[in-house]
């Protein structure tokens, strides 16, 4: 049976299941993927930031077990266990973020059935000038997106610029949510998404529990954090994007622009410094390093500028505590983190509702220490399989142009939207 057939069979038979599907998308992400599913008496957790309630679901019953998802995970995730799920943007109650209005702010599941699959490395590439290039380039130039930014986006952009010029923030990640009303089967939609936009943090989560339902369909290219058995922690922030070109020559020029443009490089550098600071709070002194600075990675529709930041966790810092202190990803906030989150919380009030799962983290954690989670971008979410939300955006600096930023955001969301047949 193929992995796709097993996935469809599992999702049809089990209301709670997950597919971590990045195997083979990138050399650094490995070639293994995993499908897990829960029986009725297996345990899952959901979190509502609006009610400050963590619920434990098992045997057809749901009970409140706390008011903090991080504390609940510390209690629930036992030695030898692997849990799979997501943390939404509002999961830290000490930071400013509006709670979700539909999907739970977090879902975590402990499946009793797990199947592993090995994949071939996808997207074989040509390399020149240090840039990974596909053998065929599609026409995804920004000129394909002529519609102007909405008045709400222009107003939010102006608020961000005012804060930047006042010195309240050095860079802010301005995002918005698009709602698509479409009767769509999550399994079919996800299979379409993975075929048109393969990614190292691709994945599918289904938690079809009445009153606490969530589907998350991810094609994310960005690592939130990986923690190895030796307690090394690594994050790979993405900041800086250019479109793919219609020809090999144009594609190479766009990648070179990404590598050399002062504005794009400054976006990445500010987030790199933020992540170095975040890791320094949880790592042994002197272990935080940047083994890869501003490297170009190429995907189906965009080139992206990626940095790797790495350190070794200090004694006494658990996996879940480390993930909490880093949360949310600095690439999805800006710098400095707290003040910038306050700025973007105000600016995004009229941009499609709370971030919810978007800008959070999705993956797995274990009771023995290791964990691996991606940032929730390039992702569809729904609570009813009819109302679908897509989050998109980008980093804003004083040199940003409102029309260019809006076009970049649309470009990032294009393939995700296409998976709904729109």
Q: Which two tokens stand for residue 21?
A: 């599907």
Residue count of the chain: 422
Q: Which residue from 136, 348, 130 is spatially nearest to 258, judged by alpha carbons? A: 130
Task: Please state the separation of Cα 28 from the chain's center in Å.
Answer: 17
> Which residues 6+ apart lie within 8 Å of 146 measured at CB?
none
Place of tokens 């990648």: 255
Q: Residue 299 has what pLDDT?
A: 85
Rounded CA separation 416/189 (Å) = 10
Reported as half-sphere exposure (CB side, CA atoms, 13 A), residue 163 has a value of 27
Residue 216: beta bridge partners? Answer: 205, 381
| pLDDT tens for the chain, residues 1 to 422 | 889 999 999 999 999 999 999 866 667 666 778 999 999 999 999 999 999 999 999 999 999 999 999 999 999 999 999 999 999 999 999 999 999 999 999 999 999 999 998 877 654 332 222 333 334 333 333 333 446 899 999 999 999 999 999 999 999 999 999 999 999 999 999 999 999 888 999 999 999 999 999 999 999 999 999 999 999 999 999 998 898 999 999 999 999 999 999 988 998 999 999 999 999 999 999 999 999 999 999 988 889 999 999 999 999 999 999 999 999 999 999 999 999 999 999 999 999 999 999 999 999 999 989 999 999 999 999 999 999 999 999 999 999 999 999 998 998 998 899 999 86
Of 201, 157, 232, give the one whose Cα is nearest residue 22: 201
Look at residue 361 and give its three-state secondary structure.
strand
Strand order, beta sheet including 201-207: 113-118, 32-37, 16-20, 201-207, 214-220, 379-382, 387-396, 171-181, 334-335
Using an 8 Å Cβ cutoff, are 287 and 311 in contact?
A: yes
DSSP string, 124-193: --EEETTEEE-SS-----GGG--PPPPHHHHHHHHHHHHHHHHTS-SEEEEEEEEEEE----HHHHHHHH
The closest alpha carbon to 45, from 14, 78, 83, belongs to 83
Active site residue 239: yes
- For the four alpha carbons of 267, 268, 271 and 273, in that order, the dihedral sign comes to negative
- List the catalytic residue out of 53, 171, 222, 408: 222
Strands 238-243 and 302-312, sheet pairing: antiparallel
**Cα 95 to the center of its chain, rounded Å:** 18
Helix axis angle for 262-280 and 248-260, nearest 10°, is: 60
CA distance 388 to 383: 8
Q: What is the DSSP string of 278-296?
A: HHHTTB-TT--EEEEEEEE
Name every residue whose Cβ is closer than 8 Å to that of residue 211 and which is 6 or more positions away in sequence.
62
Q: Which of 212, 193, 225, 141 is nearest to 379 (CA)?
A: 193
Query: Which tokens in the block code for residue 167?
Result: 């010195």
Within 10 Å of residue 166's Cβ, how many Cβ atoms?
9
User: Which pLDDT does position 103 carry in this prediction?
Assistant: 98
Taking the C-alpha atoms of residue 230 and residue 310, their distance in angstroms, rounded to an integer, is 13
- Cis geometry, peptide bond prior to residue 102 (ω within 30 degrees of 0): no
Residue 222 annotated to the active site: yes
| 301 neighbors 270 (Cβ within 8 angstroms) | no
- Write down the pLDDT at residue 183: 93
Please tell me the predicted confidence (pLDDT) of residue 139.
34
216 token code pair: 């998350």
| Domains defined for the chain, CATH in brackets | 3-418 (3.60.120.10)
Catalytic site residue from 239, 267, 297, 408: 239
Cα Rg for the chain, rounded, in angstroms?
20
Say if residues 308 and 291 touch (Cβ distance below 8 Å): yes
Query: Which CB contacts under 8 angstroms, 24+ apart, belong to 9-14?
Result: 10/35, 10/37, 11/186, 11/187, 11/204, 11/206, 12/187, 13/37, 14/38, 14/39, 14/206
Q: Which residues contact 158 (CB under 8 A, 6 or more apart)?
A: none
For 401, phi and psi rounded to 5 degrees? Answer: -110, 130
pLDDT confidence of residue 274: 94
């Amino acid at each position: 049976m193929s992995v796709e057939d097993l996935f469809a069979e599992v999702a049809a038979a089990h209301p709670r299941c997950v597919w971590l599907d990045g195997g083979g998308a990138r050399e650094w992400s490995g070639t293994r993927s995993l499908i897990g599913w829960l029986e009725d008496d297996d345990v899952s957790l959901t979190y509502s930031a609006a009610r400050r309630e963590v619920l434990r679901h098992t045997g057809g019953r749901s009970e409140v077990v706390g008011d903090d998802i991080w504390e609940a995970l510390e209690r629930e995730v036992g030695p030898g266990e692997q849990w799979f799920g997501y943390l939404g943007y509002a999961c830290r109650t000490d930071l400013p973020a509006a709670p979700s209005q539909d999907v739970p702010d977090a879902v975590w599941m402990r499946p009793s059935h797990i199947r592993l699959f090995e994949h071939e490395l996808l997207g074989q590439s040509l390399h020149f000038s240090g840039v990974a290039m596909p053998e065929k380039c599609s026409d995804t130039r920004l000129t394909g997106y002529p519609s102007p930014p909405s008045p709400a986006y222009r107003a939010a952009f102006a608020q961000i610029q005012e804060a930047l010029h006042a010195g309240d923030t050095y860079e802010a990640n301005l995002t918005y949510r698009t709602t698509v009303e479409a009767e769509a089967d999550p399994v079919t939609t996800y299979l379409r998404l993975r075929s048109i936009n393969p990614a190292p943090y691709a994945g599918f989560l289904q938690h079809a529990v009445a009153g606490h339902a969530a589907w998350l369909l991810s094609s994310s290219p960005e690592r939130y954090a990986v923690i190895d058995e030796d307690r090394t922690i690594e994050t790979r922030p993405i900041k800086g994007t250019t479109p793919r070109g219609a020809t090999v020559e144009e594609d190479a020029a766009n990648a070179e622009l990404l590598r050399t443009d002062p504005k794009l490089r400054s976006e990445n550098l500010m987030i790199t410094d933020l992540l170095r600071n975040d890791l320094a709070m949880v790592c042994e002194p002197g272990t935080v390093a940047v083994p890869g600075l501003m490297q170009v990675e190429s995907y189906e529709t965009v080139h992206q500028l990626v940095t790797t930041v790495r350190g070794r966790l200090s004694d006494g810092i658990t996996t879940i505590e480390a993930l909490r202190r880093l949360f949310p990803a600095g690439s999805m906030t800006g710098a400095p983190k707290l003040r910038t989150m306050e700025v973007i919380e105000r600016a995004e009030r009229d941009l499609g509702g709370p971030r919810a799962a978007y800008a959070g983290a999705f993956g797995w954690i274990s009771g023995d220490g290791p964990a691996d989670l991606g940032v929730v971008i390039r992702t569809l979410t729904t609570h009813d399989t009819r109302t679908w939300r897509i989050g998109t955006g980008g980093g804003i600096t004083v040199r940003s142009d409102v029309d260019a930023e809006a076009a970049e955001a649309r470009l990032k969301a294009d393939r995700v939207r296409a998976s709904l047949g729109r």
